[in-house]
Amino acid sequence: MALTGGDVHLDRGHDGRVAYLTLSHGKYTVITWEMRQLVAERFAEIDRDDDVRVVVVRSDGEHFSSGGDIAGFMEVDPIDFTDLGHNVTAPARSTKPVIAAVDGYCFGVGLELALSCDIRLATPRSQFALPEMNLGMIPGSGGTQRLGRLIGLSRAKFHIMTATRIQAQQAFDWGVVAGLHADRDALYAAVDELALKMADFSPSAQRTAKEVLDKGLDGPLYTGIELERKAYSMLRATNDFAEGVKAFEEKRKPTFQGR
């Protein structure tokens, strides 16, 4: 029987500049079909809000997420799976930088959601896995492609085809996460500090850097370099760039407006 309940709370902090998306569904934060849709809806709302500059994805359970509601997925009409993954990969399509704060299990669709974020920070007790092979299935929301690009084909094949967990230190060494913090309190404090730092940068530059990195690395080197060159030229004409240069010359902190 499908699980019921669960939510994805949206809160805004720091004068509305940081949006916090909190997964909420018990100790293990099992992600239901409805929660997947909520992720997409919340990000659509965030992307319409020009005041929001950075997004943080986290969980209020003991674990970031142990994965999806397997029984619930069995009750979903197969035609609905044609768009599988479009919802939980909303962080990747967002124009804002997105930080995932991972504590505890980060499995299945939970890992696919985290991989869709731009930056991941975690705790030493965190574990990462795509365990779908145990069900006679493969990841279906970008896990094979994103993990493969992140840690390399050989490692991704091993961990996906054997359903083997990646421990926190290994995840850090391989670049799955950008930093490890002692416990949840330290993690959330570090994420908050990082979010505020990023919120002070130019929204135009942040958005453009994300796009150039994501799209450039999907193609040949010369294509990425050409994309970078044109993006650089475009930003050269922005008010934010002029403000950044002026602030540098005046030895003060710039005030970016996203224009």
The catalytic residue positions are: 112, 132
Q: Which of 110, 87, 12 shows the shortest CA–CA distance to 56?
A: 12
Q: Which of 120, 118, 121, 113 shows the shortest CA–CA distance to 139?
A: 113
Residue 50's Cβ-count burial label (10 Å; 0-12, 13-18, 19+) is exposed
Task: Provide CB contacts within 8 A for 22, sequence distance 6+.
Answer: 8, 9, 11, 58, 59, 60
217 alpha-carbon distance from chain centroid: 17
Strands, DSSP E only, in 119-165? 119-122, 127-129
